[in-house]
């Protein structure tokens, strides 16, 4: 490789595009720097997307932290700077082209946010529950409600510390939420906690009672548009090796509001969610006009078993770790989630710089006698780094 040869451009012609990547304000116009800025300022836990206009055959971004540690952080043309710790970071980009290597550097000052972040959910993006005994109840559907009004109700339930449970219904039903900042990945400790309503039965030796495990998925807003339209990753839990991916299930609207819910899956199986005598509401989401609802995802083995000595009472056993609504809220560690467990669609480990969107869905497909279908509930979530 030739050295000591610069590109036939000057630094003034190199544009590092700066896009204000604030998921709370999609209207903010990207600020484009023409010429290389010496200094940038960005709040902690906010993304700073960087992309040179200069084209090369390869790129290398090297970051030096405030404590002086240097490492290569990207070898792609674009790089999204994201740091949780305040301080001055030195970023260098090497672009290799036909005529040699062009090098440019900048200082990025990570500063404290102007308005203090909330550790808790700030926005609910989607609520797509499957049918279930608590659907249209948690939250309550009222005449005139639409998808938008139901979404607002769900947000009121789980935003901040409101702590009102929402139900996701049977297998596949989900909710998608986010925070007022990016939860930055931390290889050393779990980053996310989710609250539900699981409990252990007294007198039962193993951990179990009402565990309704939900799979947690995470996504990084890599196109910086504030919308969950990016790649999703499943957080592997203790049952990952027994999890079947690529499961698809379709529920049909019953002929009458209080009718039995029928479903079919992509394995050729079919079944029902029977209507329980003590939950008289309709089980099919009443704001959904489609006559079928289809979900895709992973399915966990069933966790319901008949209680010892009983022919009617069920124990829903807790899986060891890695699922929402699977252990009581008093078990903080067992309701915490670590992004190092992210897996891509083929089940391979994936490294995420941070998480902007979290999705939880009911992960078992079972009906347990008089307690009916198993349905994940959640009431709150938090960025653990802001609770320490």
Strand partners, 317: 208
d(CA 359, CA 342): 13
Nearer residue to Ca ion within complex by CB, 136 or 375: 375
**Shortest Cβ distance from residue 381 to Ca ion (Å)?**
15
**Shortest Cβ distance from residue 221 to Ca ion (Å)?**
4
Q: In this chain, which stretch among 46-54, 66-74, 136-144, 222-230 interacts with Ca ion, using CB under 5 A?
A: 222-230
- Contact status: 370 vs Ca ion (CB under 5 A): no
Instruction: Candidates 155, 180, 191, 221: give the one binding Ca ion (CB under 5 A).
Output: 221
Contact map string, positions 147 to 186, toward Ca ion, x by CB under 5 A: ----------------------------------------
Q: Encoding tokens for residue 102?
A: 């062009």
* SS3 of residue 153 by DSSP: helix
d(CA 280, CA 261): 13
Contact map string, positions 298 to 327, toward Ca ion, x by CB under 5 A: ---------------------------x--
CA 139 to chain centre: 21
Q: What are phi and psi of 90, to 5 degrees?
A: -105, 125
Instruction: Candidates 230, 257, 262, 313: give the one binding Ca ion (CB under 5 A).
Output: 230
Instruction: Candidates 5, 227, 244, 387: give the one binding Ca ion (CB under 5 A).
Output: 227
Instruction: Candidates 85, 229, 292, 344: give the one binding Ca ion (CB under 5 A).
Output: 229
Residues in 180-199 at the binding interface with Ca ion, rule: CB under 5 A: 197
Closest by CA to 202, choosing from 190, 210, 214, 191, is 210
Nearer residue to Ca ion within complex by CB, 54 or 216: 216
Rounding to the nearest 10 degrees, give the CA dihedral for residues 168, 174, 178, 183: 110
Instruction: Candidates 10, 58, 105, 223: give the one binding Ca ion (CB under 5 A).
Output: 223
* SS3 of residue 112 by DSSP: coil
Q: In this chain, which stretch among 21-29, 59-67, 225-233, 249-257 interacts with Ca ion, using CB under 5 A?
A: 225-233
Residue that is written with structure tokens 């000595």 in the block: 309
**Shortest Cβ distance from residue 341 to Ca ion (Å)?**
22
The terminus-to-terminus CA distance of the chain in angstroms comes to 49
- Contact status: 31 vs Ca ion (CB under 5 A): no
Q: Residue with CB nearest Ca ion?
A: 375
Closest by CA to 235, choosing from 344, 123, 354, is 344
Nearer residue to Ca ion within complex by CB, 21 or 340: 21
Nearer residue to Ca ion within complex by CB, 56 or 209: 209
Contacts of 314 (CB under 8 A, 6+ apart): 304, 305, 306, 307, 368, 369, 371
- Contact status: 11 vs Ca ion (CB under 5 A): no
253 to each of 75, 261, 284, how far by Cα in Å?
50, 7, 6
Write out the residues near Ca ion by the rule CB under 5 A: 197, 212, 221, 223, 225, 227, 229-230, 325, 375, 377
């Amino acid at each position: 490789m030739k050295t000591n040869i610069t590109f036939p451009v000057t630094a003034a012609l190199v544009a590092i595009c700066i896009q204000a990547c604030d998921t709370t304000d999609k209207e903010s116009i990207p600020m484009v720097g023409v010429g290389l800025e010496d200094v940038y300022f960005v709040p902690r836990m906010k993304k700073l997307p960087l992309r040179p206009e200069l084209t090369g055959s390869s790129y290398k971004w090297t970051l030096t932290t405030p404590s002086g540690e240097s490492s290569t952080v990207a070898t792609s043309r674009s790089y999204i700077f994201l740091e949780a710790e305040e301080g001055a970071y030195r970023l260098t980009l090497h672009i290799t082209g036909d005529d040699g290597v062009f090098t440019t550097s900048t200082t990025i000052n990570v500063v404290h946010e102007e308005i203090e972040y909330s550790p808790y959910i700030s926005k609910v993006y989607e609520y797509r529950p499957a049918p279930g005994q608590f659907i249209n109840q948690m939250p309550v559907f009222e005449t005139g409600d639409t998808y938008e009004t139901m979404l607002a109700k769900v947000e009121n339930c789980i935003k901040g510390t409101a702590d009102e449970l929402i139900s996701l219904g049977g297998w596949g039903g989900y909710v998608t939420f986010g925070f007022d900042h990016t939860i930055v990945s931390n290889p050393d400790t779990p980053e996310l906690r989710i609250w539900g309503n699981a409990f252990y039965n007294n007198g039962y030796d193993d951990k179990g009672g009402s565990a309704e495990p939900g799979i947690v998925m995470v996504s990084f807003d890599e196109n910086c548009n504030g919308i969950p339209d990016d790649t999703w990753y499943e957080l592997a839990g203790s049952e990952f090796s027994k999890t079947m991916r690529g499961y698809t299930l379709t529920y049909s609207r019953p002929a009458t509001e209080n009718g039995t819910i029928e479903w079919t899956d992509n394995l050729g199986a079919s079944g029902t969610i029977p209507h329980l005598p003590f939950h008289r509401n309709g089980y099919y989401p009443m704001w959904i006009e489609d006559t079928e609802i289809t979900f895709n995802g992973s399915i966990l083995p069933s966790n319901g078993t008949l209680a010892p000595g009983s022919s009617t009472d069920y124990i829903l056993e807790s899986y060891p770790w890695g699922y929402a609504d699977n252990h009581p809220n008093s078990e903080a560690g067992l309701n915490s989630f670590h992004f190092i467990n992210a897996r891509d669609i083929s089940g391979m480990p994936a490294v995420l710089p941070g998480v902007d969107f979290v999705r939880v869905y009911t992960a078992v497909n079972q009906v347990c006698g008089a307690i009916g279908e198993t349905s994940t509930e959640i009431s709150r979530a938090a960025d653990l780094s802001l609770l320490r």
